[in-house]
Structure 1
Amino acid sequence: MDVAKFKRVVLKLSGEALAGTKGYGIDPVIVDSIARQIKETQSTGIEMAIVVGGGNIWRGMAGSAKGMDRATADYMGMLATVMNSLALQDALENYSVNTRVQTAIEMRQIAEPYIRRRAIRHLEKGRVVIFAAGTGNPYFSTDTTAALRAAEIEADVILMAKKNTDGVYDSDPRYNPDAKKFKELEYIEVLKRGLGVMDSTATSLCMDNKIPIIVFSIDEPGNIMQAALGKDIGTIVGGIKRDG
């Protein structure tokens, strides 16, 4: 049996990852597949926290671009992440995985408020913790949420599960057949070249706190486990010695 390389990880899922081929809404089949992969990964002894985006339901930036107040649009996006988090929680609990959703905006009827020490205690007890509602503040992305929560709970790595790409390239491989895939990158190079691993705020936060990032494809079943075990998959930002 493979030995877990990391003790505690933050898995960052885009909202689009839950939407399947439709690109919007929540696809129960896809959510079930992701939940099954999370269960398998956690069974290796890895403590797992998750941050889910909300782009399959609502994007604050899109609403703002069409004239909506930016803060209002971002709060709507935070609520979309809560919907995704509850769907993922339900799928995980169908596999008998004890799960807690913690929200940065208080809504006690459906989730716990985010409390750092409580989150860590849940992880230590073998529960999966899903961080919802972003940071609770407008103008910050769920990428930044993942970086912030990873720093707060002292995670070993952020696993960036991407849709339609298997790593970081120097240009978009969908349009450039000669695009070069990076195996390893430094944070500063990501920032200077604008490579889009995370937004600049999230990348800087990871750099300042020395939190490595593994970027990999969510489209291939089993990749969450491979990334969490430190296998040679995707692109790594920040430097970790990986297994072959």
Structure 2
Amino acid sequence: MQKPKYKRVVLKLSGEALAGDQGYGISHEIINSIAKQVVEVVKLGVEVAIVVGGGNIWRGVAGSARGMDRATADYMGMLATVINALALQDALEKLGIETRVMSAIEMKEIAEPYIRRRAIRHLEKGRVVIFAAGTGNPYFSTDTAAALRSAEIEAEVILMAKKVDGVYDSDPLKNPNAKKFTDLEYIEVLNKGLGVMDSTATSLCMDNKIPIIVFDLTKNGNILRAVMGEEIGTYVGR
């Protein structure tokens, strides 16, 4: 049987992806589908860490735009990611996969505090580690958290799971003639403002040479395909 291309990966899930078609909250169908796909990958011996967003519950930027203090709004967003992380942990453990939620904001009753060496040890033992509460700092997105945690745990790739099948030069949902990119360099993403990640996260990946694969989460089996090295979505690197 073909071996996975990557041994240790960070899967970045947006909060919006967890909401499914309902647009808000947590879709049990979506979260169970993600959990089953992660189990497929873990059973191949791949070490999986997950960074989850909170946009299905609360977006700090949106709260700030309505006049709320930006730091307060961002902390609320971080707490939303913890809710998503616990839901994901529950779905994974129901499928028999040991899972640890590690939070950048200490809340010891429900999650472990984030400690780099402990996170790596969990991964080495075959546990799925879910990083919650972003970086623990306001003004930083969960994209930046994914880039930072990937560098810290020495992940080989970031799998950016989205609702679209790659990176386009414009919104494919609004423009039927939008052009899809199969390969991009980090600097192209920054210069063209393509919105794969925010600029802080993209720069962090570029500095640490962490490739990013942007792919469609809604298509079942795509997480496995990405880990196996199949050409899906858009590859950002070099």
TM range (shorter): over 0.9
| Residue 145 (structure 1) shift | 0.2
Aligned to 1:5, what secondary structure does the other structure show?
coil
Aligned to 2:117, what secondary structure does the other structure show?
helix
Q: Where does 1:135-214 land on structure 2 (aligned, <5 Å)?
A: 135-163=135-163, 165-214=164-213
| Residue 42 (structure 1) shift | 1.1
What is aligned with 1:218?
A: 217
Q: Where does 1:73-152 land on structure 2 (aligned, <5 Å)?
A: 73-152=73-152
Aligned pairs, number:
238
RMSD: 0.7
In 2, distance between residues paired with 1:147 and 1:213?
A: 9
| Residue 178 (structure 1) shift | 1.6
In 2, distance between residues paired with 1:236 and 1:139?
A: 27
- Could you tell me which amino acid in structure 2 is paired with residue 47 of structure 1? E
- Could you tell me which amino acid in structure 1 is paired with residue 219 of structure 2? E
In 2, distance between residues paired with 1:236 and 1:197?
A: 11
| Residue 16 (structure 1) shift | 1.1
In 2, distance between residues paired with 1:119 and 1:204?
A: 24
| Residue 127 (structure 1) shift | 0.3
- Is residue 2:33 matched to residue 1:33? yes
Q: Where does 1:39-54 land on structure 2 (aligned, <5 Å)?
A: 39-54=39-54
Deviations 1:117-162 (A, max 9, x none): 0000000000000000000000000000000000000000000000
Say which is worse superposed, 174-183 or 149-158, in terms of deviation: 174-183
In 2, distance between residues paired with 1:200 and 1:20?
A: 26
| Residue 179 (structure 1) shift | 1.2
Question: When the two structures are superposed, what TM-score results if normalisation uses the length of structure 1?
Answer: 0.96
In 1, distance between residues paired with 2:93 and 2:9?
A: 19
- Could you tell me which amino acid in structure 2 is paired with residue 231 of structure 1? E
| Residue 234 (structure 1) shift | 0.3
In 2, distance between residues paired with 1:178 and 1:32?
A: 33
Aligned to 1:19, what secondary structure does the other structure show?
helix
Deviations 1:198-229 (A, max 9, x none): 00000000000000000000010100111111
| Residue 96 (structure 1) shift | 0.4
In 2, distance between residues paired with 1:2 and 1:106?
A: 41
What is aligned with 2:12?
A: 12
- Could you tell me which amino acid in structure 2 is paired with residue 15 of structure 1? G
| Residue 2 (structure 1) shift | 2.8
What is aligned with 1:242?
A: none
| Residue 172 (structure 1) shift | 1.3
| Residue 20 (structure 1) shift | 1.4
Structure 2: gaps (5+ residues) = none
- Could you tell me which amino acid in structure 1 is paired with residue 173 of structure 2? R
Aligned to 1:9, what secondary structure does the other structure show?
strand
In 2, distance between residues paired with 1:109 and 1:175?
A: 44
Runs of 4+ in 1 over 4 A off after TM superposition: none
Aligned to 2:189, what secondary structure does the other structure show?
helix
Structure 1: gaps (5+ residues) = 240-244
| Residue 41 (structure 1) shift | 1.1
Identity of aligned residues (%): 76
Q: Where does 1:60-71 land on structure 2 (aligned, <5 Å)?
A: 60-71=60-71
Say which is worse superposed, 204-213 or 169-178, in terms of deviation: 169-178
